Structure 1
């Protein structure tokens, strides 16, 4: 780390990582933060995630206060200004102290004159903090997208489906500090013991309204640095993902295929629901990622139940070395537009054109999965997106082309309010306070 005399380590680490993200398309979740204590790493992560989440609005405001084309400004100065403005608008840091820090950072990593420009722009915005300019392009979707820092194409789609009020609520949800599901491994401990540990370590929690073995927390660092994860007593998993396993409803003694299993969260929960009896074959096209499944299985105590095979699920039909499955879970690759509150960078990585490629892949995987289910068995198709062409439309197509399958309601397996009119599971973040997800339970007709 460069020796900075006045700039806090967390700000310098955040600057380094945001610069790296902009130049290499690195993922926000894979930060390189060395030579920092736990508090500094947490602060740096918060700054990186916050700036990434709010970048479009930050850039709009900086453009309004900069005498020139902000897009042509050198990257390092853009990053510093975004960081400074984010702290001014969204953190409790005393504003003038934040400005001083980023002025010094600009001087030290760019040149002395950059500090003057940083000071001028940030202090000009600070003087107008209570009456900041608003986007007025005349296009409702564009204005909402700038104000809530989302791509316009996403906002336009949601306006068409949900209307103004619900779209604004969804955008607001995506920009809030996320809640995390903490699923208890009841094979090793109890919910009561886990919540007692949380209380002892001053981690605020609330029970899930949907699942008795899940609690909600907002602070993950105490969990990560504590003993619960290492001992396999809990897993960090959103309730929507756990609910998909409930829709699969795996039973002791069955053979389960998990076709896109890595990193293994649903695989592990399925094993837990089977009480360690039966067999789960976890497939994934990325052999390296199956190592995550192996590690999770051993940590949670299900190493003997879960087998692993690197494979593209589309190549599985016709293999004579595989049994037919009682149940198949296809948690398909998708746009991920239901998890934007937790994936700050995903909104900027997705393009609307991605949907066509993804829906084609989903269809191929779903068709292949159908051949792996025994007569009378169950196929669950799931995603972590809220887009209809990846969800309901995909299932409609499948049922039209596979007369030996029928849609079976998930009623009775999950909370009634999460069951759609046709019997599928669908969650909307702003409505249900969990990630957006979908799954359909498809029964293969016997005979």
Structure 2
């Protein structure tokens, strides 16, 4: 799209936004880029043309297609329409928004910044969807639950009889959660500051340092004083809980081994009251660069960033046995974050999962060397699959008798005043259906 066309896109209204939605979906399908990256790229290019409600409309429309992806494929097969992103977008408008053919013809008239006109065969096929709902009794559990084949066995093993309910929750709209930077303020003060500018929140049910947006109205978060002053960070409640679960204390030596852009690093630094020594490691320089900006804005001074060449970097060997806490927020399939990243379901397969499981095992094998005697290693993922979680820990403990499992309930009671939120006392397992936050797994191993 040319600069001139970009600037005029919003002026063309709903039809132009529908066309932009299709462009975004096609880019994801053709390049494999994640939804967030594609949306951000388009929004930057169109920042002078799009208002807040337009960005929301575009994101919701793209997200709707991805959330209904497998069911839309089922319907397109049933009506014998080629499963293109265009067909999926049009079918979703009928099945999810009760759009009719005249409405679609008006939106798809072939003009500039509009989708091509509907073809006769498209009209004939789409008419068969009128009056239908997105769900159909003939759909299998996997289709209705929007579960990809590569994850189905693991999720059924994890959830058993509640599989359908858990998967349905993973297809709902995610919450907007924020972590309060306790180095600068309290949750109460942050909430009051946000409220004074029309940004309404309420305390998160489990995290003592979390706020959850209760009203979609008000200003953009980045325009609030609380955000500009480094009082709050965007972070799902589940992620906050994992960071606090590490139990880092003032004066400790701590490593965030897979720190990425520093979300949990920031929370741990505040937990340590900006004292001791916190090391944020990662193999991706760009992610660590983003962490630098966030650390500065939050006023963090006790953190060192270390770029690793690989999982077995020489720094790990040199730092053997020096740390009280080692958090491994391991790369994973991200099944627990499908509410936020529905596209990730369809961008992976069995081979990707196998590679991730092998990588996780390597990371544990390397990072455990950093733990001192009496120290703890915290292993966490945002996955809900047993092979990335319990089975990883069981396999590690079989081969390493220097560590013992500390019950998750015990660790929770050491760090939180709220009741333990899980049925399993050995492992912390959070999910949208059970806990209302993203899906996470965490466990604690203590070195003898």
- Specify if TM > 0.5: yes
CA contact (8 A) 1:259 1:330 kept: yes
Task: Report the equivalent of 2:432.
Answer: 429
CA shift for structure 1 position 236: 1.1
**Alpha-carbon displacement from aligned partner over 1:255-281 (angstroms, at most 9, x marks no partner):** 111111011010000000111111111
Q: CA separation in 2, counterparts of 1:338 and 1:408? A: 23
Runs of 4 or more consecutive aligned structure 1 residues displaced over 6 Å after TM superposition: none
SS of corresponding position for 2:337: coil
2:82 paired residue number: 70
Partner of 1:57: 71
Q: Compared with structure 1, are the counterparts of its residues 200 and 65 closer, same or farther at alpha carbon in structure 2 (3 Å cutoff)?
A: farther
Query: Cα–Cα, structure 1 residues 119 and 243, in superposed 2: closer, same or farther, change >3 Å?
Result: same
Describe how 1:185-196 pairs up with structure 2 within 5 A: 185-196=181-192
Q: How far 1:29 moved relative to its partner?
A: 0.4
Q: Which moved further from structure 2: 263-272 or 213-222?
A: 213-222
Deviation, structure 1 residue 301: 0.6
Match of 1:75 in 2: none
Alignment of 1:175 with 2:174, yes or no, is no
Where does residue 61 of structure 2 map in the other structure? Answer: 47
Alignment-derived partner of residue 155 in structure 2: 158
Give matches, 1:207-356, under 5 Å. Answer: 207-217=203-213, 219=216, 222-302=220-300, 304-311=301-308, 312-316=310-314, 319-320=317-318, 324-356=322-354
Q: In the alignment, what sits opposite 2:21? A: 14
1:332 deviates by 0.9
Q: Deviations over 1:75-132 (max 9, x none)?
A: xxx33332233233334x86567524443259976654x3555544444422x236x7
C-alpha distance in 2 between matches for 1:224 and 1:115? 44
CA 1:110–1:42: 2 relative to 1, 3 Å: closer
**SS of equivalent to 1:125:** coil
Closer, same or farther: CA 125–420 of 1 in aligned 2, 3 Å: closer
Residues 281 and 28 of structure 1: CA distance in aligned 2, closer, same or farther (over 3 Å) = same
**Residue in structure 1 matched with residue 129 of structure 2 by the alignment:** 125
Once the two structures are superposed, residues 179-228 of structure 1 have per-residue CA deviations (whole angstroms, 9 ceiling, x without a partner) of: 12211112222222332344345445332221221122264972244343
- Of residues 86, 89, 99, the one that matches 2:92 is 86
SS at the partner of 2:297? Answer: helix
- In the other structure, the counterpart of 1:395 is 393
Q: Secondary structure at the match of 1:129?
A: coil
RMSD: 2.8
Change over 3 Å in CA distance of 1:196–1:97 after alignment to 2: farther
Q: Which residue of 2 aligns with 1:99?
A: 104
Find the aligned partners of 1:100 and 1:201 in 2 and give their Cα distance.
42
How far apart in 1 are the matches of 2:179 and 2:352?
Answer: 32
Contact 1:105/1:115, CA 8 A, preserved across alignment: no
TM-superposed deviation, 1:7: 4.9
Q: Matched residues in 2 for 1:59 and 1:201: separation?
A: 44
Question: C-alpha distance in 2, partners of 1:391/1:156?
Answer: 14
Q: Structure 2: any 5+ residue segments left out of the alignment? A: none
Structure 1: tracts of 5 or more residues without a match = 72-77, 138-142
C-alpha distance in 2 between matches for 1:229 and 1:398 = 41
TM-score (normalised: structure 1) = 0.86
Q: Is the 8 A contact 1:259 1:331 kept in 2?
A: yes
